[in-house]
Amino acid sequence: MGVDFEYDFSSLSADSLSKMKTNFVEIRSVFDNPKSNVEDVPAYHYSEFIYYLIGFSSKMRFLCIYFDYQTYKIRILDVYLPNETEIQQKYCKAL
Identify residue 41 by its one-letter amino acid code. Answer: V
Q: What is the pLDDT of residue 4?
A: 75
Q: What is the pLDDT of residue 1?
A: 42
Separation of first and last alpha carbons in the chain: 25
Q: What is the pLDDT of residue 85?
A: 94
Backbone φ and ψ for 67, nearest 5 degrees, come out as: -155, 160
- Residue-level pLDDT, tens digit, the chain, 95 residues: 455 788 999 999 888 888 889 999 999 999 999 999 999 887 656 667 889 999 999 999 999 999 988 888 999 999 999 999 999 998 987 66
Q: How much is the pTM?
A: 0.86
**With the C-alpha atoms ordered 83, 62, 87, 17, is the resulting torsion angle positive or negative?**
positive
Asked if 76 and 67 count as a contact pair (C-beta separation under 8 A), the reply is yes
Euclidean distance between CA atoms 78 and 66, whole angstroms: 5
